[in-house]
Structures are given as structure tokens and as C-alpha cells.
Amino acid sequence: MSLLEELQRKANEESKYPNDQEFLERKAIDVVYEMLKAKELLEKGDTRNAAGKAFQAWKDLLSCLVYLNLDKLAKDEKEKEWYLKKGIIVPTTKMQPLALKLEELGFKGISSWSDKALLLHNYQYNGPDPDNYYGGIVSEEVAKEYVKLLLKATKEYLEKYVLPHIKGKSLEMIREGMRLV
């Protein structure tokens, strides 16, 4: 079984989430899987779908960071309940506010990268905005560069903030996948 197939299998296993270490490991595996798919699609010239996969990798990374920082993000039990039910999923409509909260906790640049991820998400569905009428990505070439940059940033944040909390076989698999990105 190839690494990509193994990552996909692990990502699709049913999770006991969100109350255990397994959730974090599965989300980190999701991040690597989506990064590998984005790279593969980019190499095939499928920029719009690569943009979507890069966006999903970033969203899964934010999910890991929210999970790891639940106690710092939630002010009370009601808010913690929201984070456990919805916040850790990182709904697209909540990505910017969640990124701002993570930025306040010291995750430098996470808000700006989240904005780039949202631009790629928009590009996936709408394609280029050559006249920059909506403030979107103006060309496929720009989109390709944004995908590459976002993948690099995702990898760096994953390495620095998430991987120190993962051990064993999952960590080995994630590191092997990251070497391929």
C-alpha cells in the first residue's frame, strides 16, 4: 500500500473525536494527505482542484491548532462546548475569526495565511478574477504560486506547533508524507 493510500485510509477511519489524542493525529494525517493531493494536482496542471486541496489542508491545520488551544480560546464552558462541537471543525465562515483568535495567542501570520487560503477556496469555485473585480486571484499563475506558498506555510506550522504533540507510528507516517510535499 502506498503512503498516499495509507494516509487516505487513516484519514477515513472513524474517529472517537474530539476528546482524545486520536483526533489530533487524524487531523494531522488529513493535513498531510491534503497537501500531497494538492501537490499532485498542481503537477498535473489541475490548479483549481489543487487550490481546494491546499485550502482543505490549511483548514485541517487550523482544526489542530484550535483543538490544541481549546482551554486558551474558550472563556467559559458554553464557549468551550461550541469549540468542541463546531470550532474544531473550522467552518469556512468562521475561519477568519478563529484565525484572529489564534493570532492573539501568538501564532504569528496565521490570519494572513488564512486570508490566502480563503482566496484559494474562492478560486477553486470561481476561477481567476483577471480584472480583480472581486479582489480574487487574478490568474492561474498567481494561483499556482499561492498554492505552493500555502503548502509551505502549512508544513511549517504543522512541524512547529502540531507534531510535538504526536508520537509513534502516526508521527512517522506524517513525517514521511511531509518529506514528499
122-128: long-range contacts at Cβ-Cβ below 8 A with a sequence spacing of 24 or more?
Answer: 123/48, 123/51, 124/48, 124/49, 124/51, 124/52, 124/55, 127/48
Number of domains in the chain: 1
Please, what is the Cα angle at 130 between 109 and 61, to 5 degrees? 25
The SS3 assignment for 158 reads helix
- The predicted model gives 20-40 an average pLDDT of 95
- pTM of the prediction? 0.90
CA distance 107 to 142: 25
- pLDDT at residue number 170: 92
> Which positions ≥6 away from 86 have C-beta within 8 Å?
94
Q: Which residue has the higher pLDDT, 15 or 123?
A: 123
- Residue-wise pLDDT for 84-111, tens only, equals 999 999 999 999 999 999 999 999 999 9
Domain span at residue 30 reads 3-180
Q: What nine digits make up the cell of 167?
A: 508520537
pLDDT score of 19 more than 60: no
Cβ atoms of 26 and 15 within 8 Å: the answer is yes
